[in-house]
Structure 1
């Protein structure tokens, strides 16, 4: 039985990596989506066992295209995977040859589902994107200098006066509309 992977509706920041055990000449047909009447045929989504998949957030490429960067380097520099996760899986990642499929959490667009990956996909691992570190450095721009207390107080408008003005303007507006209707009808 194929291994199952749960995708929650709140999932974010995960990157699933699969080896694609297909010859290069079969890759185009594997990733191609075709429509025949009402039926959509997409072998990649079927092999992943996904009910919903946004192709804008998946990557399918030959590892050889990464040259000396390698899969582990691409995951760290290109996908923002935490360095400690890459260190633990580096040997496994760098021995992958041929094509890989990378599926980001955004590919599921919040659709809860259970993945059941099967041939030609072979699961390599699931990794967590490293969050951007928060930095509290002062801004360097001249426009950012000063403090909030240096700003002049904004004039506060009396809400009662605004309501009074609206009440006085209403009869004038009604009179103008009545005049326009009377002129058009006459």
Structure 2
């Protein structure tokens, strides 16, 4: 099975079931000090960021359920996610959750090994703006007509004057030390 990863994707969450005995999961999913990483090889990934790979023992979720975990921890949402909730909650064993950051903005083609079974690909919830829509004239992007060629740079002038003053003081101190 092959999966195309778009390097500019910021919302797609991929969930894989891990078909390994429990005692083999850690060795498979943790990157060794030598750089060996069976999970990366099993995904066929060119780039995979260890800090964004989420390996979950479903027993640890207890009564929460995988679908609730995905919704709360990864903002999983959408029609596909809602349709798969019962499938997600019925899984046992371990799952590997890969948010888009795990691929480090790298477009690549994954070639999935038999130890991994894709359960689903889910979009993230869209952020909602906080508070009501702004109604002031300045919030609409319109400004009063003024001279566009005369930018206000009062802060820059003070910065330049302060740097010149500091330079003069430094020269005076240097001259006093060299006497």
Structure-2-length-normalised TM-score: 0.72
Relative to 1, partners in 2 of residues 1:177 and 1:10: Cα closer, same or farther, differing over 3 Å? same
Task: Tell me which moved more, 83-92 or 124-133.
Answer: 83-92
> Is structure 2 residue 32 aligned with structure 1 residue 28?
no
Deviation of the 1:133 alpha carbon: 1.1
Deviations 1:40-70 (A, max 9, x none): 3100111111111111111112112111111
2:91 counterpart residue number? 96
Within the alignment, does 1:109 sit opposite 2:104 as a pair? Answer: yes
Q: Match of 2:10?
A: 12
Asked whether the 8 Å contact 2:31–2:50 carries over to 1, the reply is no
- Aligned-pair distance for 1:184? 7.6
Q: Secondary structure at the match of 2:131?
A: coil
Q: Is the 8 A contact 2:19 2:117 kept in 1?
A: yes
Corresponding residue SS for 1:69: coil
Q: Are 1:78 and 2:78 matched, yes or no?
A: no
Structure 2 stretches of 5 or more lacking a match?
139-150
Q: How does 1:1-186 map to 2 (within 5 A)?
A: 3-36=1-34, 40-82=35-77, 84-137=79-132
Q: Which runs of 5+ in 1 are unaligned?
A: 139-147, 149-155
Count of residues in correspondence between the two structures? 155
What RMSD, in angstroms, separates the aligned Cα atoms of the two structures? 3.1
- Structure 1 pair 184/49, CA: closer, same or farther in 2 (3 Å)? same
Task: Work out the CA distance in 2 between the residues paired with 1:120 and 1:20.
Answer: 6
TM-score normalized by the length of structure 1? 0.70
Distance 1:48 1:136, change over 3 A: same
Q: In the aligned structure 2, how far is the partner of 1:7 from the partner of 1:48?
A: 11
